[in-house]
Amino acid sequence: MHDLAGFAFVMPNHTGTEALGLILRWFHFLAGITWIGLLYFFNLVNVPFMKQVDATMKPKIFQYLTLPALNLFRWSALITVFVGFWYWAQIFVGPDAQRIGVGAGSTIGLFLLVWIVSWGILFAVIKKLPSGYVLGAVTAVVVIAAAWLFVNYTPVGQDDNHVLSIGVGGGFGFIMLFNVWGIIWPNNKKIIKGTLAGTPPADAATLARQAFLASRTNLYLSVPLLFFMATSSHYTILGK
Protein backbone atom coordinates (compact mmCIF):
# COMPACT_ATOMS: atom_id res chain seq x y z
CA MET A 1 0.00 0.00 0.00
CA HIS A 2 1.08 3.53 -0.69
CA ASP A 3 1.64 5.82 2.25
CA LEU A 4 -0.70 8.82 1.83
CA ALA A 5 0.33 10.50 5.07
CA GLY A 6 2.64 12.90 3.25
CA PHE A 7 -0.03 14.08 0.83
CA ALA A 8 -2.22 17.07 1.53
CA PHE A 9 -5.44 18.08 -0.22
CA VAL A 10 -4.93 21.43 -1.90
CA MET A 11 -7.87 23.54 -3.02
CA PRO A 12 -7.50 25.00 -6.53
CA ASN A 13 -6.48 28.64 -6.54
CA HIS A 14 -8.27 30.91 -9.02
CA THR A 15 -8.10 34.65 -9.54
CA GLY A 16 -11.22 36.79 -9.57
CA THR A 17 -10.83 37.28 -13.33
CA GLU A 18 -10.71 33.51 -13.89
CA ALA A 19 -13.81 33.00 -11.76
CA LEU A 20 -15.63 35.77 -13.63
CA GLY A 21 -14.61 34.22 -16.94
CA LEU A 22 -16.05 30.86 -15.92
CA ILE A 23 -19.33 32.42 -14.77
CA LEU A 24 -19.71 34.46 -17.95
CA ARG A 25 -18.97 31.49 -20.19
CA TRP A 26 -21.45 29.33 -18.27
CA PHE A 27 -24.32 31.80 -18.72
CA HIS A 28 -23.23 32.41 -22.32
CA PHE A 29 -23.46 28.68 -23.05
CA LEU A 30 -26.85 28.22 -21.37
CA ALA A 31 -28.42 31.20 -23.11
CA GLY A 32 -26.77 30.31 -26.42
CA ILE A 33 -28.05 26.73 -26.36
CA THR A 34 -31.56 28.06 -25.74
CA TRP A 35 -31.31 30.69 -28.49
CA ILE A 36 -29.83 28.49 -31.22
CA GLY A 37 -32.05 25.57 -30.25
CA LEU A 38 -35.16 27.72 -30.72
CA LEU A 39 -33.74 29.15 -33.95
CA TYR A 40 -33.44 25.63 -35.37
CA PHE A 41 -36.89 24.71 -34.05
CA PHE A 42 -38.53 27.70 -35.73
CA ASN A 43 -36.80 27.12 -39.07
CA LEU A 44 -36.65 23.34 -39.31
CA VAL A 45 -39.84 22.32 -37.46
CA ASN A 46 -42.25 25.21 -36.98
CA VAL A 47 -42.16 26.74 -40.49
CA PRO A 48 -43.14 23.52 -42.32
CA PHE A 49 -45.59 22.64 -39.54
CA MET A 50 -47.47 25.95 -39.77
CA LYS A 51 -47.95 25.45 -43.51
CA GLN A 52 -50.04 22.35 -42.74
CA VAL A 53 -52.10 23.78 -39.87
CA ASP A 54 -55.74 24.65 -40.39
CA ALA A 55 -56.38 28.40 -40.21
CA THR A 56 -58.82 27.97 -37.32
CA MET A 57 -56.06 26.45 -35.18
CA LYS A 58 -53.47 29.16 -35.75
CA PRO A 59 -54.72 31.60 -33.07
CA LYS A 60 -54.29 29.00 -30.33
CA ILE A 61 -50.87 28.00 -31.63
CA PHE A 62 -49.84 31.65 -31.76
CA GLN A 63 -51.06 32.27 -28.22
CA TYR A 64 -49.80 29.17 -26.44
CA LEU A 65 -46.73 28.17 -28.47
CA THR A 66 -45.38 30.83 -30.82
CA LEU A 67 -45.65 33.86 -28.55
CA PRO A 68 -44.09 32.22 -25.45
CA ALA A 69 -41.35 30.68 -27.61
CA LEU A 70 -40.60 34.03 -29.25
CA ASN A 71 -40.30 35.69 -25.84
CA LEU A 72 -37.81 33.06 -24.70
CA PHE A 73 -36.08 33.32 -28.08
CA ARG A 74 -35.51 37.08 -27.99
CA TRP A 75 -34.36 37.26 -24.37
CA SER A 76 -31.99 34.31 -24.70
CA ALA A 77 -30.53 36.01 -27.79
CA LEU A 78 -29.94 39.22 -25.84
CA ILE A 79 -28.34 37.44 -22.89
CA THR A 80 -26.13 35.32 -25.17
CA VAL A 81 -24.72 38.31 -27.03
CA PHE A 82 -24.45 40.64 -24.02
CA VAL A 83 -22.63 38.12 -21.84
CA GLY A 84 -20.45 36.92 -24.73
CA PHE A 85 -19.47 40.48 -25.58
CA TRP A 86 -18.63 41.18 -21.93
CA TYR A 87 -16.52 38.00 -21.75
CA TRP A 88 -14.62 38.82 -24.96
CA ALA A 89 -13.94 42.42 -24.00
CA GLN A 90 -12.84 41.75 -20.42
CA ILE A 91 -11.06 38.42 -20.69
CA PHE A 92 -9.26 38.86 -24.03
CA VAL A 93 -9.36 42.39 -25.46
CA GLY A 94 -8.66 44.16 -22.16
CA PRO A 95 -5.56 42.16 -21.19
CA ASP A 96 -4.16 42.36 -24.75
CA ALA A 97 -4.62 46.13 -24.74
CA GLN A 98 -2.92 46.43 -21.38
CA ARG A 99 -0.03 44.26 -22.55
CA ILE A 100 0.78 46.55 -25.49
CA GLY A 101 -0.01 49.74 -23.62
CA VAL A 102 -3.09 50.97 -25.49
CA GLY A 103 -6.79 51.33 -24.72
CA ALA A 104 -9.29 48.57 -25.47
CA GLY A 105 -11.92 51.05 -26.65
CA SER A 106 -10.53 51.31 -30.18
CA THR A 107 -10.99 47.61 -30.91
CA ILE A 108 -14.37 47.46 -29.20
CA GLY A 109 -15.47 50.55 -31.13
CA LEU A 110 -14.30 49.09 -34.44
CA PHE A 111 -16.14 45.86 -33.70
CA LEU A 112 -19.40 47.68 -32.97
CA LEU A 113 -19.06 49.98 -35.98
CA VAL A 114 -18.28 47.21 -38.48
CA TRP A 115 -21.02 44.84 -37.40
CA ILE A 116 -23.78 47.37 -36.73
CA VAL A 117 -23.22 48.93 -40.17
CA SER A 118 -23.28 45.43 -41.66
CA TRP A 119 -26.64 44.74 -40.07
CA GLY A 120 -27.96 48.09 -41.27
CA ILE A 121 -27.20 47.08 -44.85
CA LEU A 122 -28.95 43.73 -44.46
CA PHE A 123 -31.89 45.39 -42.72
CA ALA A 124 -32.36 47.70 -45.70
CA VAL A 125 -32.23 44.78 -48.14
CA ILE A 126 -34.80 42.78 -46.17
CA LYS A 127 -37.14 45.77 -45.91
CA LYS A 128 -36.79 47.05 -49.49
CA LEU A 129 -35.88 43.97 -51.56
CA PRO A 130 -37.38 40.91 -49.83
CA SER A 131 -35.73 38.42 -52.20
CA GLY A 132 -33.98 35.41 -50.76
CA TYR A 133 -31.43 35.25 -53.58
CA VAL A 134 -30.53 38.94 -53.34
CA LEU A 135 -30.35 38.78 -49.56
CA GLY A 136 -28.14 35.68 -49.66
CA ALA A 137 -25.68 37.28 -52.06
CA VAL A 138 -25.57 40.57 -50.17
CA THR A 139 -25.18 38.78 -46.83
CA ALA A 140 -22.20 36.77 -48.10
CA VAL A 141 -20.44 39.87 -49.43
CA VAL A 142 -21.18 42.00 -46.37
CA VAL A 143 -20.11 39.51 -43.69
CA ILE A 144 -16.92 38.56 -45.54
CA ALA A 145 -16.02 42.23 -45.98
CA ALA A 146 -16.83 43.00 -42.34
CA ALA A 147 -14.76 40.07 -41.07
CA TRP A 148 -11.82 41.11 -43.27
CA LEU A 149 -11.99 44.69 -42.03
CA PHE A 150 -12.06 43.65 -38.39
CA VAL A 151 -9.27 41.07 -38.65
CA ASN A 152 -6.96 43.36 -40.60
CA TYR A 153 -7.60 46.70 -38.90
CA THR A 154 -8.31 45.94 -35.26
CA PRO A 155 -5.80 47.91 -33.15
CA VAL A 156 -5.70 45.24 -30.41
CA GLY A 157 -5.32 41.49 -30.78
CA GLN A 158 -4.06 41.03 -34.34
CA ASP A 159 -1.84 38.26 -32.99
CA ASP A 160 -4.51 36.78 -30.68
CA ASN A 161 -6.74 34.06 -32.09
CA HIS A 162 -9.25 34.57 -29.26
CA VAL A 163 -9.76 38.25 -30.08
CA LEU A 164 -9.99 37.64 -33.81
CA SER A 165 -12.10 34.48 -33.90
CA ILE A 166 -14.62 35.75 -31.39
CA GLY A 167 -14.50 39.14 -33.11
CA VAL A 168 -15.74 37.44 -36.29
CA GLY A 169 -18.11 34.88 -34.76
CA GLY A 170 -19.43 37.42 -32.29
CA GLY A 171 -19.99 39.82 -35.18
CA PHE A 172 -22.28 37.26 -36.79
CA GLY A 173 -24.01 37.03 -33.41
CA PHE A 174 -24.57 40.79 -33.37
CA ILE A 175 -26.23 40.66 -36.79
CA MET A 176 -28.40 37.78 -35.62
CA LEU A 177 -29.37 39.61 -32.42
CA PHE A 178 -30.41 42.73 -34.32
CA ASN A 179 -32.38 40.58 -36.74
CA VAL A 180 -34.26 39.11 -33.78
CA TRP A 181 -35.05 42.41 -32.09
CA GLY A 182 -35.27 44.57 -35.20
CA ILE A 183 -37.28 42.34 -37.55
CA ILE A 184 -38.28 38.88 -36.32
CA TRP A 185 -39.82 39.89 -33.00
CA PRO A 186 -41.61 43.14 -33.97
CA ASN A 187 -42.99 41.68 -37.21
CA ASN A 188 -44.27 38.51 -35.58
CA LYS A 189 -45.66 40.46 -32.63
CA LYS A 190 -47.77 42.59 -34.98
CA ILE A 191 -49.06 39.51 -36.78
CA ILE A 192 -49.80 37.54 -33.61
CA LYS A 193 -51.37 40.39 -31.66
CA GLY A 194 -53.52 41.35 -34.64
CA THR A 195 -54.61 37.76 -35.25
CA LEU A 196 -55.53 37.23 -31.59
CA ALA A 197 -57.51 40.48 -31.61
CA GLY A 198 -59.35 39.42 -34.76
CA THR A 199 -57.81 42.17 -36.88
CA PRO A 200 -54.70 40.84 -38.65
CA PRO A 201 -52.54 43.65 -40.08
CA ALA A 202 -53.16 44.46 -43.73
CA ASP A 203 -49.48 43.91 -44.51
CA ALA A 204 -49.27 40.60 -42.66
CA ALA A 205 -47.85 38.77 -45.69
CA THR A 206 -45.06 41.35 -46.07
CA LEU A 207 -44.27 41.26 -42.36
CA ALA A 208 -44.16 37.46 -42.39
CA ARG A 209 -41.87 37.43 -45.43
CA GLN A 210 -39.42 39.86 -43.82
CA ALA A 211 -39.38 37.88 -40.57
CA PHE A 212 -38.85 34.65 -42.50
CA LEU A 213 -35.87 36.07 -44.40
CA ALA A 214 -34.29 37.44 -41.23
CA SER A 215 -34.78 34.10 -39.51
CA ARG A 216 -33.30 32.14 -42.41
CA THR A 217 -30.33 34.52 -42.48
CA ASN A 218 -29.79 33.76 -38.78
CA LEU A 219 -30.01 30.03 -39.46
CA TYR A 220 -27.26 30.20 -42.07
CA LEU A 221 -25.09 32.60 -40.04
CA SER A 222 -25.31 30.31 -37.01
CA VAL A 223 -23.06 27.77 -38.77
CA PRO A 224 -19.99 30.03 -39.21
CA LEU A 225 -20.78 31.64 -35.85
CA LEU A 226 -20.44 28.31 -34.06
CA PHE A 227 -17.35 27.48 -36.12
CA PHE A 228 -15.50 30.64 -35.12
CA MET A 229 -16.57 30.30 -31.49
CA ALA A 230 -15.09 26.80 -31.46
CA THR A 231 -11.86 27.85 -33.17
CA SER A 232 -11.33 30.65 -30.65
CA SER A 233 -10.22 28.07 -28.06
CA HIS A 234 -9.81 24.77 -29.88
CA TYR A 235 -8.21 25.43 -33.28
CA THR A 236 -6.07 28.45 -34.03
CA ILE A 237 -6.86 29.88 -37.47
CA LEU A 238 -6.28 33.61 -36.91
CA GLY A 239 -3.34 35.18 -35.09
CA LYS A 240 -1.50 32.83 -32.75
The reported pLDDT for the residue numbered 101 is 87
Nearest-angstrom CA–CA distance, 126 and 136: 10
- φ/ψ of 188, rounded to 5, equals -65, -35
What confidence score (pLDDT) does residue 16 get? 76
Distances in Å between the Cα of 87 and the Cα atoms of 69, 83, 239 are 27, 6, 19
> Whole-angstrom Cα distance, residue 128 to residue 180?
18
Q: Which amino acid is residue 102, in one-letter code? A: V
- Give residue 6's pLDDT band: very low, low, confident or very high (50, 70, 90): low
Arithmetic mean of pLDDT, 132-153: 97
Please count the other Cβ atoms lying within 10 Å of the Cβ belonging to residue 150. 23
DSSP 130-194: --HHHHHHHHHHHHHHHHHHHHHH-SS-TT-HHHHHHHHHHHHHHHHHHHIIIIIHHHHHHHHHH
The closest alpha carbon to 228, from 169, 176, 175, belongs to 169
Q: Quick one: average pLDDT of 200-206? A: 92
- State the pLDDT confidence band at 234, using cuts at 50, 70 and 90: confident
d(CA 156, CA 164): 9
What whole-number distance in Å separates Cα of residue 113 and Cα of residue 227?
Answer: 23
- Asked if the model's pLDDT at residue 12 lies above 70, the reply is no
Residue 101 gets the label, from left (phi > 0), alpha (psi -120 to 50) or beta, of: left
pTM: 0.91
CA–CA separation, 180 vs 195, rounded Å? 20
Is residue 1 predicted with pLDDT exceeding 80? no
Q: What is the DSSP letter of 183?
A: I
- Would you place residue 187 in the very low, low, confident or very high pLDDT band (cuts 50, 70, 90)? very high
> Residue 117 pLDDT more than 50?
yes
Q: Which residue has the higher pLDDT, 195 or 75?
A: 75
pLDDT for 56 beyond 90: no
Task: Give the sign of the dihedral formed by CA 36, CA 78, CA 146, CA 151.
Answer: negative
Residue-range domain boundaries for the chain: 17-234
